[in-house]
Amino acid sequence: MKTTNRDECLLFVESIKTHFIENFPFLKDKDRDDFISKFDELLNEEEFLPEQIDIDDLIRRISQILVTLDNSHVGLNEKNLENFKLTRDIYCKAKTFWINEAGTPLEIISINDTPIEVLINERLKEIGGGTSEWKRYKATKRIMISDKAGDVIIKARDEQGKIIEIKDQFIKNENKRFEIIVENGIAREYRRDDYIEGKMLDGDIALINIKSWGGKINIDGKNIVKLVEEELENLKMCKSIILDVRENDGGNSHYARLVASHFLKEKVDVCNFLVKKPGQNEMIREYAKIGPEGEYYDQKLVILTGPKGISSTDMFLTFLKDIGRAVSIGQATGGGSGNPQIFNLHLGDREFDLWVSCWRNYRNNGQEIENNGIEPDIFVEPTPEDVRNHRDVELERAIKYLNN
């Protein structure tokens, strides 16, 4: 248990409260006052009477308060924190949790004899904002991380119902986003195909998979926009284009806008925002327009969507799907926006990033994106049987749509 003195903790908590009062877009005065009262209650509790305070417990309690805001771009994240990651991925698809064994998807039953749904439900309590399916995706990622190393027994069920025990382990997490990725315990640098893949399908259809809008992506000096533009140029003779953003959990919305601009002939209204400016009580309504930039591609356009796609990917759908330029196929997006401001805080010898949303993003139809996501034009969802058979039913439906 790490402790620090009472005065430092009081200053830390007051700083967090102030950043939210100045920057977070509360819709009602009551919402803001309720949030403030939660911090005031924390500051007045008996735990703040001792001279030395348990930092881990304090961070946990602050995080619980932040979750009540129900916003996907809010959080208190410790920097330089050592953690451990399973060597193999667990993933959620068709409302089921899976692990691959020799290339075969197996349905997970438990981890170290704790039912998978129990583990997921515990993690869901730590997640605020986004759709229910987005939260399950985030919870799945969190059960792959531990604060200590150790062996793990995963029990899973094959297609015939046979229970299989899989031995795995938590090893030191060396992943550095946009720098190093660890696969099956082996570290390597990120490659182009980790972010962008393009190919031709039958029927003169081009498929471009955009896996991130990350602003720090740099492959041979090229950011994600340049990488997408190269794929568009290579595949420009196609009759139709499928953009796959199902795995894209956001990043730089400016990059999403630049890619979308290649499919527009004129400037259009795409969405609007309620923005909280520091020092101002009233929020300001701002409207977003985007127009053509660079080479124009007039091909028929489909976008594959799913619950992992959030933030800048939500906005990407407002740029193209909501104005009728593209048809979306799949499931609803993750439902998150916020343009977060990030504040660096210290407590004792520990360093934290505080994420505070400063806007609310609305579609042209008036619906807020946060917690709602953007529904597809054509709903398609895989079944557990599709997962076992490696069927990409969303892509199949997109090809059928374009060919007809």
**CATH number of the domain residue 92 falls in:** 2.30.42.10
Domain end call among 48, 78, 108: 78
Instruction: Indicate whether 208 and 157 sit together in one domain.
Output: no
- With tokens 């062996």, the residue in question is 151
Q: Give the 3-state secondary structure of residue 65.
A: helix
Contact 273, 375 (CB under 8 A): no
Sign of torsion over alpha carbons 172, 177, 179, 181: positive
What is d(CA 94, CA 57) in angstroms, rounded to the nearest whole number?
A: 36
What is d(CA 256, CA 174) in angstroms, rounded to the nearest whole number?
A: 28
Instruction: Indicate whether 94 and 132 sit together in one domain.
Output: yes
Cα separations in angstroms, 58 against 13, 63, 147, 159? 9, 9, 17, 45
Domain end call among 152, 167, 189: 189
- What is this structure's pTM? 0.94
Cα separations in angstroms, 198 against 170, 328, 401? 34, 18, 19
Does the residue 344 lie in any domain?
no
Instruction: Indicate whether 252 and 328 sit together in one domain.
Output: yes
DSSP for 204-233?
A: TEEEEEE--B-TT--BTTB-HHHHHHHHHH
Q: Please provide residue 43's backbone torsions phi and psi, each rounded to the nearest 5 degrees.
A: -70, -25
* Structural element, H or E, at residue 20: helix 6-23
**CATH code, domain carrying 269:** 3.90.226.10
User: Where does 294-367 show beta strands of DSSP type E?
Assistant: 300-305, 327-330, 341-347, 350-356, 359-363
Cα separations in angstroms, 166 against 145, 156, 185, 189? 17, 8, 16, 28
Alpha helices in 74-209 (DSSP H): 116-124, 132-142
Instruction: Indicate whether 176 and 47 sit together in one domain.
Output: no
Query: Structure tokens of 379?
Result: 């709903």
| Residue 166, number of CB atoms within 10 A of its CB | 16
Instruction: Indicate whether 162 and 205 sit together in one domain.
Output: no
What is d(CA 185, CA 173) in angstroms, rounded to the nearest whole number?
A: 9
Does the residue 355 lie in any domain?
no
The pLDDT of residue 4:
67
Domain end call among 165, 189, 213: 189
Instruction: Indicate whether 294 and 385 sit together in one domain.
Output: yes
The pLDDT of residue 322:
97
Contact 308, 141 (CB under 8 A): no
Pick from 398, 364, 358, 396: which is nearest to 378 by CA? 398
Instruction: Indicate whether 233 and 296 sit together in one domain.
Output: yes
The pLDDT of residue 50:
59
Does the residue 125 lie in any domain?
yes
Does the residue 132 lie in any domain?
yes
Pick from 249, 253, 251: which is nearest to 261 by CA? 253
Does the residue 293 lie in any domain?
yes
What is d(CA 349, CA 363) in angstroms, rounded to the nearest whole number?
A: 43
Instruction: Indicate whether 124 and 204 sit together in one domain.
Output: no
DSSP for 43-64?
A: HHSGGGSSSEEEHHHHHHHHHH
Parent domain of 179: 84-189
Contact 324, 263 (CB under 8 A): no
| Residue 16, number of CB atoms within 10 A of its CB | 20
Instruction: Indicate whether 129 and 208 sit together in one domain.
Output: no
Instruction: Indicate whether 181 and 272 sit together in one domain.
Output: no
Count of domains forming the chain: 3
Pick from 151, 153, 128: which is nearest to 139 by CA? 128
Sign of torsion over alpha carbons 336, 342, 343, 347: positive
> pLDDT in tens for each of the 404 residues of the chain?
566 678 888 899 999 999 999 999 999 999 999 999 999 888 776 555 556 678 888 999 999 999 999 999 999 999 988 899 999 999 999 999 999 999 999 999 999 999 999 999 999 999 999 999 999 999 999 999 999 999 999 999 999 999 999 999 999 888 777 667 777 667 788 899 999 999 999 989 999 999 999 999 999 999 999 999 999 999 999 999 999 999 999 999 999 999 999 999 999 999 999 999 887 888 999 999 999 999 999 999 999 999 999 999 999 999 999 999 999 999 999 999 889 999 999 998 899 999 999 999 999 999 999 999 999 999 999 999 999 999 999 999 999 999 98
Cα separations in angstroms, 353 against 65, 83, 277, 346? 16, 17, 20, 9
Instruction: Indicate whether 54 and 90 sit together in one domain.
Output: no
Instruction: Indicate whether 163 and 67 sit together in one domain.
Output: no
Cα end-to-end distance, the chain, whole Å: 63
The pLDDT of residue 54:
82
The pLDDT of residue 42:
84
